[in-house]
Chains A and B, each alone.
Chain A
Amino acid sequence: MKVTIVDYNSGNISSVINSFTEVAKSTVNLEVTSDLKKIKYSDKVVLPGQGSFKSCIDALESIKGLTNTLHEFVKINKKPLLGICVGLQMFADVGYEETETKGLGWIPGKVCKIDNQNGNYKLPHIGWNQINIVKDSAIYKDIENNSHMYFVHSYEFVPKDKKVITAVTDYSSKIVCSVEKENIFGTQFHPEKSDKLGLKIIKNFISI
């Protein structure tokens, strides 16, 4: 099995690499690359993302052919992809961080700033929050409802079709923690930083 973490200068991905390395051990061939061929022939792809929506989209587009390769991987070949944090947010049609930016458009919806209710909620939303699993998802196999995951973000994904939401968390409102649409998976929280349960989610994704 070949799993590729897309390295597109989206900020710090060493923790993603370390956690996947820990889970993959010898059974998985793990690559960290932006090489289009390697991505194309992978069985699964991980799309991390740190920084702003715009900076991640810009970084993706600065590598020639990368967005097309990812589109093909997800939409034509229908192979599993996991987006983490801004990696998930980029599934949207549009993001409003810094400036209005077109997203990948895989899951209709938008990415907006979390409503801090006049300063009642500190932003970024940083720390361990409980996930309320609202729909079965392969990545939550053997994960109990209300488990704690590590979050750090100020923007949230608001999908048009609520049926893609698999878990939400309470912070100002019900924030989308994870989505699943056919072969497309995404977590707003950081499984790579969510201790043993996070590693379990990574394992679940690898086992899909």
Chain B
Amino acid sequence: MLKNRIIPCLDVKNGRVVKGINFVDLKDAGDPVEQAKIYSDGGADEICFLDITASNENRNTIYDVVKETSKKCFVPLTVGGGVRSVDDINKLLNCGADKVSINTAAVQNPSVVEESSKKFGSQCIVVAIDAKKNGDIWEIFTHGGRKETGINAIEFALKMEKSGAGELLVTSMDKDGTQSGYDTELMKTISEIINIPVIASGGVGTLDHLVDGIKSGASAVLAASIFHYGTYSVNDAKQYLASKDIPVRI
């Protein structure tokens, strides 16, 4: 039986781990390679790096981080943040990333998703959707959640599936950093409509939130703070999910 995945996410800035609260107010807390290794040894099903390095001159730091991590972690590694072109994707894959997540570029230039999934295979193309409730719809935000686009998140999800995305990483901007749980309504709506796996993200504060995420139809749950600050280990999370009859790899 296919297991539900738990994916700890590490926000990386200038080659160092941080965790954003609502994408601002960052705290520095560690070496990404070591952190990733702790997670993979602890049973993480995948590792996700989100590069939030703002300045162009430091953009290359993520390549070194990915290179070093992929020599030590033998579970899938997803890398996102600042990915603009097919060439950026190629570089990250060559450094040892297994999947690349594309956010702003997918919105601005959807052909990046189409081209890269043809070139490298859908299996390594994750489209990251940052959505915020706006009246009756969820709207896509880009640029780390700072820029609204007027695009309907559900329609965009369908379009990305058609363009060749292998997975969708769906983050609720209303929930991210709040530790009040995923936007389960958003996850449910997207999971029901599309036929590729959904990774739920944004808002985890307790282990019950992970359970809610899976119950809303997501194939995987992503979390940062609860693992990063040691509130729970990945294994705690898995044991808890298993106790709630949710199939996980233990």
Chain A residues in the interface with B (C-beta under 8 A): 11-12, 14-15, 18-19, 21-22, 50-52, 55, 116, 119, 122-130, 148, 150-154, 170-171, 192-196, 198-199
Contacts and interface: CB of A to CB of B under 8 A. Distances in A.
A152 B195 contact: no
Given A14-B95, A151-B2, A154-B122, 11 more contacts: A12-B97, A15-B70, A50-B124, A124-B197, A127-B4, A127-B45, A128-B5, A170-B2, A193-B74, A194-B75, A196-B74
Given A12-B98, A127-B45, A119 B195 contact: yes
Contacts of A123: 195-196
B220 interface: yes
Contact of A124 (B70, B98, B123): B123
A115 B76 CA distance: 25
Contacts, number: 99
B1 A18 contact: no
Contact of B96 (A18, A125, A170, A194): A18
Contact of A18 (B70, B120, B124): B70
A11 B121 contact: yes
Interface of B: 1-5, 40, 45, 70-71, 74-76, 93-98, 119-124, 166-167, 195-197, 219-220, 249
B121 A15 contact: no
B197 A14 contact: no
A195 B74 contact: yes
A148 B249 CA distance: 7
Grouping DSSP codes into helix (H, G, I), strand (E, B) and loop, the B interface class, with mixed when no group exceeds half, is loop
A128 B249 contact: yes
Given A127-B5, A195-B74, A14 B122 contact: no
B2 A129 contact: yes
Contacts of B70: 14-15, 18
B47 to A, nearest CB: 11
A199 B75 CA distance: 11
Contacts of B197: 122, 124, 126-127
Contacts of B75: 150, 193-195
B96 A128 contact: no
B3 A148 contact: yes
Contacts of A199: 74
Contacts of A125: 2
A152 B61 CA distance: 28
Nearest to B198: A122
21 contacts: A11-B93, A14-B70, A14-B93, A15-B70, A22-B71, A50-B121, A122-B196, A122-B197, A124-B197, A127-B3, A127-B4, A127-B45, A127-B219, A129-B2, A129-B3, A152-B76, A152-B123, A170-B1, A170-B2, A192-B74, A198-B74
B195 A128 contact: no
A83 to B, nearest CB: 16
